[in-house]
Structure 1
Amino acid sequence: MNTKNRIHISIILFLSILFQFSSLSANPEEQRPPTDANIFGHVIDAESGEHLPFVNLLIKGTRIGTITDATGHYILTNLPPGKHTLIAQSMGYARTEKEFEAIEDRTFEVDVKLIPTGINLDEVVLTSSPTASGFRYQPDAVFLGEKLQRRSEPSFGEMLNGQPGVAMRSFGSAPARPVIRGMDGDRILILENGERMGDISETSADHAISLDPLVASRLEVVRGPASLLYGSSALGGVINLMTTDIPDQWDRGLTGVVSGQGATMNNMGAGFGRLTYGHDTWATTARFAMRQSGNITTPEGVLPQTSMNNMDGAVGWGINRENLTGGLSLSMFNQTFEIPEEIEDEDESIEVRARRLSFQGRFGSNLNGNFFDKAQWRFNASHFFQQEIEIEYNEDGTVDEDIELEYDQYALSSTLTLQHKPRGIFARGAMGLSFLGQTLDVGGDEAYTPGERRFSIAAFTFQEVPLSNMLRLQFGVRLDFQNSKALSNVMFPNIDLTRNKMNYSGSVGLNYRPIEGLEIGGQFARSHRNPMVEELFADGAHLGAGVYEIGNPDLKDEIGHGGDLFLRYKRGIVELELATFVNDFANYIVFQPTGLVDDNSGYPVFEYMEGSAILYGGEFSAALQLAPGVTFQTGVDLVQGRRTFDDAPNENLPFIPPVRFNNQIEYDFERAWVGANLMMVTKQDKVAPDEDITDGYTLLGFQAGYRLNFNGRHVLILRVENALDNKYRDHLSRIEDRNFVMPGRNISLAYRWFF
């Protein structure tokens, strides 16, 4: 039986089991003796008087429940005679309890009014739901506030490394990028405020994300395919970096935040400041961030050519009126960092210089239509420019600089989303249009690809159907059209190739909440990815990456069929989450070493090849409150990746993270906290042909923090990483041959003041 058939059988089995649960939970009266003790009524908004559809209703202390229909009405029959309490719950409203008495052979009306509270978005991952319904169909996570501050690092890859299912592609601190379930690069989509950033961080290991981590006010991670909402490049997951450059909430008058950070491992210093002035219906804001660091220090000494320098600034304006919210922002990012590629030659170095200018907007409005009642339009127009420069230090003290590679890209990413009212069997849903256009010119002495002009337009829908007060169905479909054209340059003067592709994505998921605190979710999805210009047309030495790349213009779109299943339990002193996944890919593109060496550059030759592949694995995490303020957390994640062949033995995929175990204990006594963490990483010997094996290692760390409320809120965080100064090599390191160990002991101090 082949992999795709196994996945299809699993889908049918999973849906059958959960629909059986649906029939049990939707019709509990069939399991109760007939008493003809009934109640009916409607649930309304206490302020507007509007009838509320799909509100969860439950008889306290029992499993008897239902949901209101699309008109806000309900009925419960054959109740046990006696006094009961009816519980009503809905996203954006305070939980309400109402007492009543059920009498045999009698029917009473019990109406409920719910008080609006607004939706608490702290736990709702907006990236995975355009309606913010709060129901989850695949594992996700959100970081904000102090939880985000504690993870402050020079790059987003380092910030998220160690989270369930998330590792880091390392090539020095600056270009470190998140890896989700063994997939990185163009298979993981990095967004800024819900739209594509317009940089080129996904194209190569030596390219960085063009945003300083200090700027982010909220960070969301979705593990698993998300092509339904975001199209190509979301096969493995999505990371949404959210800022407040467009203010969405503010206090009247002047408020702000100031922070600073320092680290010993690379003599890093960083600072950030933001000021916001709020009026009744509008606000303006401005921010500036700066970061500078030297070379990374390892247990074996200094790792040359790993320094970095960032500057990041923005101004923004926001509006919040009765029927219009949103605003505009203008941001600038400038970065210079070194690449550890010419380490053995002290007279040469490679430096990457990048800048990005971004103009973003977001506007939302309430509509008066009978079907659509909310609309939101987002856009991000950007200009990105990057040079990879080879620097030679001559004996006479002069310095020669050669621009080996240059990227110049203009991009526009935009999405229009319309939300519709609950209708019939459907809860609130969304329909939308998205557009992506970009023009990339590639130049320099060693331009190894042509440029590219690409645009795509897509239409999508996201729908939810409450099947009972415990079970909810989600489904959606997306149609994408993409046109791409190769652009000639000095190295590719005669290229004239055009691709037109129509593709579709879709998903179906279930969310089941049988008891309070327990949530089970699953999703099966079809996703796709369009090949990048490097994969199609590369033919030359890539200076920054240290390889000779060969593309293939006949590569097809990657197609993925995958399933996610998770269980989350949170009750009292215990919190658990278990997630599993399997993804089967057709036309999976692999950056494969050929075993050859290019004579002119001396770089190893890599070729882009396609074939079938499967990735599978899972994550487990648990948190237990041992005593008041004392919490113990543990977790493990694993992923396996294989190329599959019909007529040859299967091969391991390259750059697959090893199994990791995480343990952490913390004592939080309100004003301060102290803690320790232990990460154990196993040996990775399931490697691709010509890929190096890496040994396992253990890292010990400590953390302490202090909170002070005086003229605002102050937070001070002290961390010690790799406290034992252990030598280890990261399997995802892209430094040639992985001959250099990772950073040694690091002591960092961070301070943030909110006023």
Structure 2
Amino acid sequence: MFARLKHSTALVALMAGAGLAAPALAQQAEVDGDVIVVTSAPLGVTADEIVGAVEVVDRRHLEDNLSGSLADTIAHEPGVSTTYFGPAASRPVIRGLGADRVRVLVNGVGLIDASTNSPDHAVASEALEAQRVEILRGPAAIAYGGAAIGGVVNVIDGRIPEERAEDGLEGRFYGSVTSVDDGETAAGRVRFNAGQFVINLEGLMRTAQPYDIPGYAESETFRLFEEAEEHEDEHDDDDEEEHEDEHPYGTVENSGLDFNSASAGISWVGENGFIGVAFKQTNALYGVPGGHAHGEEEHEDEHDDGHDEDHEVEHGEGESVRIDLEQTRFDLRGEWRDLGEHVDRVKFSFGTGSYEHVELEGDEIGTLFTNEGWEGRLEARHVAIDLWGGSWEGAAGVQAFSRDFAAIGEEAYVPPSETSDWGVFLVERWDAESWGLEGGLRLERRELDTASDSRTFETSSLSGSIFFRPVRDTFLAVTLSSSERAPTDVELFADGPHVASSTFELGDPDLDIERAVSAELTARTRLGDWSLEASVFRADYDGFIAAYATGAEEDGIPVFAYSQDDVVLSGFEGRLEGPLGAWGGWDFDGELTGEYVEASLDAGGDLPRLPPLSLTAGISASRAGHDLHLEAEWADVQDNTAPFEFKSQSYVIVNARWSFEPLPERDMRVILEARNLTDAEARLHTSFLKDQVPLPGRNFRAALVLDF
């Protein structure tokens, strides 16, 4: 293992020689040293006083908790889970909502990929590319419109520098190896000044073999169901032991991956702002686990244990599917401050990209997905005004995107479509110190066109909050909001087999706007030396859009039809953390987080893939450059299931981490981590593949982080 660490360290050093390293500069404003401004919020309110729930995950926290994809890395945050379609393709789930209801952004604008169209499509952003990740939930996300009705995950990546490099040059390196999948990761970034210009270069690579698991890839319930179907269809009396031997065991087949990206950015940086451009190229080749296949050969060679070591991703004839992905992206960003007596700040982001991926069945191309598009956002904040005994501040802006999406081939279950969306928003806040008011409004227009049909939707979202500071270090907010979301191209026009989710999907071109009226209570306070943050929420949806099982079959797979129903979604999330005292020269801290969500249909039953009640308890100890952390994650049984959905069993995962600085005079850190120490079988109920693809088994990670 440590030989592989040496190898990864060499890879990072090679990247450094090529001028690819990561910046020591964190791109976030600080107040009083440790109060973080949430830049994703138009008003730039501090994380302690933002209305609604928010998490700011900094770079060090991302490195400490790195676990494959971006979504998997932030999934331990309260209220956040992941679709977990294997280690390559996962998307965030916030409060039980995913897909088009959660916007994943980079520097405030969309990724221009295909990740919202299917759970097997990877997100075109990696955790190690981020300087920080801001997660907005509930009313905090209203400025991003109906597609953020669940929340926003905004990756601040720093590819376009906002500030000059300290001492003219700075950089950062990360290299790691993992045991569960023979994985290697290397990432680096370097930033240097050239007169008034600042240049940023970076690169990343992540490779892995199919990962190990403690038992069968398929859950016991799923295996029994499969065997019962086989016996019923074939009237075969083969003994159970023979069937057990056929099921994949010890490894999730076809779960290998090979990701890499490189980018270059340049900014002009002045005293009052910056403007810059960046180019990024992303390439990936990864397997789609779960035994999916197309056509008549879907079940042939289902239990083949072979894999192609050259590609580090197994693929069998007519059985294993790989995705070969490529994206080219250009970005333009800028910000200007102190523009006069009325305008405090103006900032903008614009991105344009060309995305495509092919789904390979063996060496044959099954389906080609393409997405050409752009997205832009402009915000302006007015200066604070003294009014009625308080301070009045606000921001307004416009956001727009356009995309041309096409799927050509066997899995073209949705026709080529063009989507354009325009939105304007306004956020205002009046703060009289002991209490205050905040309101937000966003108006949108979405147009969707195919060769045979077109729809236009006009939506509005608004929120109103009242907040209080009854005592020092306490912030309470109550928010009422109304949100509207327009249907997507998949929900409207899908018509065909969707192999990723093993369903035949039927859209409904007559779907109407999805509406939600919600209430949320947010509280942040201190209990002695401990801090508490919690949110309780409820949302009543009128016309919630989802794909529901019809009971019919087409091409041998169940038919799911998109339709609308009224849904009530409610739950809570929270975090309690603080010091436990000192002993033996060590300072101890504790943390407890929890979350729960439920969503029931007025017609009866529950929404599919809802996360269960979960709790995480952790204890940390620090001393002279050494940091120890031990935590246990518990997830309850999830038996609030939709039709044709199996329940998920409870599990406990124990993780341990030791990070230390071996050379105090150098900015160097070593991370040694053990995940799932007890080698427990764990399945995420939010995953489409929970009964075929469990989480990884026991895993050891060794990582090296170097700043200069």
State TM-score, norm by structure 1: 0.79
CA contact (8 A) 2:356 2:368 kept: yes
Correspondence for 2:579: 625
DSSP 3-state at the match of 2:290:
coil
Contact 2:272–2:336 (CA under 8 A) maintained in structure 1: yes
Q: Does 1:675 align with 2:629?
A: yes
Give me the whole-angstrom Cα distance separating, in 1, the residues matched to 2:647 and 2:177: 34
Corresponding position of 2:214: 299
1:669-714 deviations in Å (ceiling 9; x for gaps): 1401112111111111111122111111111111111025556411
- C-alpha distance in 2 between matches for 1:421 and 1:540: 53
Q: After superposition, give the CA deviation of every residue in 1:256-290 in whole Å (9 maximum; x if it has no partner).
A: 11110111111110101111112463210100100
> Are 2:265 and 2:279, in contact at CA under 8 Å, matched by a contact in 1?
yes
SS at match of 2:73: helix
1:389 equivalent to 2:355? Answer no
Work out which of the residue numbers 38, 43, 50 in structure 2 matches 1:130. 43
CA 1:246 to 1:700, structure 2 compared with 1: closer, same or farther past 3 Å? Answer: same
- 1:326 deviates by 3.0
* Separation in structure 1 between the aligned mates of residue 649 and residue 339 of structure 2, nearest angstrom: 62
Which residue of the other structure, out of 269, 277, 281, is the alignment partner of 1:328? 277
Counterpart of 1:266 in structure 2 is 181
* One-letter amino acid matched to 2:127: P
Separation in 2 of the partners of 1:409 and 1:582? 35
Compute the displacement of 1:423 (Å): 3.3
- Change in CA separation of 1:195 and 1:118 when aligned onto 2, cut-off 3 Å: same
Alignment of 1:128-527 (within 5 A): 128-132=41-45, 135-225=49-139, 228-249=142-163, 250-279=165-194, 281-300=196-215, 301-342=250-291, 344-346=302-304, 347=316, 348-366=319-337, 368-391=339-362, 400-401=363-364, 403-423=365-385, 425=387, 427-466=392-431, 468-486=432-450, 488=451, 496-527=452-483
| Distance apart, 1:345 and its partner CA | 4.9
Q: Secondary structure at the match of 2:492?
A: helix
What SS is found at the alignment partner of 1:678? strand
By how many angstroms is 1:459 displaced?
1.5
> Which deviations, in whole Å up to 9, do the C-alpha atoms of 1:93-117 show, x marking residues without a partner?
xxxxxxxxxxxxxxxxxxxxxxx99
- The equivalent residue for 2:691 is 738
**Long gaps (5+) in structure 2:** 1-28, 216-249, 293-301, 305-315
Corresponding residue for 1:639? 597
Asked if the contact 1:234–1:527 (Cα under 8 Å) also holds between the matched residues in 2, the reply is no
Helix, strand or coil at the partner of 1:652: coil
Aligned letter for 2:179?
A: T
Q: Deviations over 1:531-577 (max 9, x none)?
A: 11111111111233332111111111211111221111136521112
- Paired residue type of 1:204: S
Q: Relative to structure 1, is the Cα distance of residues 580 and 672 closer, same or farther in structure 2, using a 3 angstrom cutoff?
A: same
Q: Which has the higher contact order (CA 8 A, sep 6+)?
A: 2
The structural deviation recorded for 1:511 is 2.5
Paired residue secondary structure (2:72): helix
Please tell me whether the aligned partners of residues 537 and 552 of structure 1 are also in contact (alpha carbons under 8 angstroms): yes
Report deviation, 1:336: 1.2
The whole-number CA distance in structure 1 between the counterparts of 2:146 and 2:557 is 31
CA distance in 2, matches of 1:240, 1:130: 15
Matched letter for residue 655 of structure 2: G
Amino acid across the alignment from 1:437: S
1:642 Cα offset (Å):
0.7
Counterpart amino acid of 2:352?
A: A
8 Å contact from structure 1 (residues 513, 520) kept in 2? yes
Does the 8 Å CA contact 1:136/1:511 hold for their aligned counterparts? no
Per-residue CA deviations over 1:436-459 (Å, capped at 9, x if unaligned) read 111112212331111111112221
Q: What SS does the aligned partner of 1:695 have?
A: coil
Q: Secondary structure at the match of 2:87?
A: coil
Q: Distance in 2 between matches of 1:324 and 1:163?
A: 32
The count of corresponding residues between Structure 1 and Structure 2 is 615
Distance apart, 1:588 and its partner CA: 0.5
Conserved in 1, the CA contact under 8 Å of 2:36 and 2:46? Answer: no
Distance 2:262 2:60 in 1: 22
Identity across the alignment (%)? 25
Residue 254 of structure 1, CA deviation: 2.1
Once the two structures are TM-superposed, the CA of residue 367 in structure 1 deviates from its matched residue by 5.7
Q: CA deviation at 1:119?
A: 7.8
Given that 1:227 and 1:233 are in contact with CA atoms closer than 8 Å, whether structure 2 keeps it comes out as: no
1:754 alignment counterpart: 707
**CA displacement at 1:190 relative to structure 2:** 0.3
Query: 1:147, CA displacement in angstroms?
Result: 1.9
Distance 1:512 1:500 in 2: 41
8 Å CA contact 1:226–1:235 kept in 2: the answer is: no
1:160 positional shift: 1.5
Shift of the 119–373 alpha-carbon distance from structure 1 to 2, 3 Å rule, reads farther
Aligned amino acid, residue 287 of structure 2:
E
Q: Could you say which residue in structure 2 is the equivalent of 1:25?
A: none
The 1:166–1:366 alpha-carbon spacing in structure 2 relative to 1, beyond 3 Å, is closer
Rg: which structure is higher? 1
Deviations 1:295-349 (A, max 9, x none): 0210010110111110111001122213441311111111111111327253321
Deviation at 1:213, TM superposition (A): 1.6
Asked whether the equivalents of residues 225 and 236 of structure 1 are also in contact (C-alpha less than 8 Å), the reply is no
CA root-mean-square deviation:
2.0
Higher mean displacement: 707-716 or 320-329 = 707-716
Deviations 1:587-616 (A, max 9, x none): 1111212233323xx322222121111110
CA distance in 2, matches of 1:266, 1:623: 33
Deviation, 1:510, is 2.3
Aligned counterpart for 2:516 among listed residues 560, 572, 579: 560
Q: Is the 8 A contact 2:42 2:381 kept in 1?
A: no
Partner Cα distance (1:390, 1:265) in 2: 26
| Aligned partners of 1:615 and 1:641 also within 8 Å | yes
Describe the SS at the equivalent of 2:60. Answer: helix
Secondary structure at 2:114's aligned position in 1? Answer: coil
Counterpart Cα distance in 1 of 2:30 and 2:69:
36
- Structure 2 vs 1, CA of residues 198 and 364 (structure 1 numbering), >3 Å: closer, same or farther? same
- Secondary structure of the 1:214 match is helix
* 2:423/2:445 contact within 8 Å kept: yes
Classify 1:122/1:573 alpha carbon distance in 2 versus 1 (closer, same or farther; 3 Å).
closer
Deviation at 1:133, TM superposition (A): 5.6
Shift of 1:424: 5.3
The separation in 1 between residues aligned to 2:148 and 2:254, in whole angstroms, is: 32
Unaligned runs of 5+ in 1: 1-115, 392-399, 489-495
Distance 1:123 1:209, change over 3 A: same
Aligned counterparts of 1:121 and 1:315: Cα–Cα separation in 2: 30
Task: Measure how far apart 1:655 and its partner are.
Answer: 0.6
Residue-by-residue CA offset, 1:38-64 (whole Å, 9 max, x unaligned): xxxxxxxxxxxxxxxxxxxxxxxxxxx
**Which sits farther off after the overlay, 669-678 or 184-193?**
669-678
Q: For the Cα contact (< 8 Å) 2:290–2:693, is it kept in 1? A: no
Greater alpha carbon shift after TM alignment, 304-313 vs 205-214: 205-214
TM-score, scaled to structure 2: 0.84
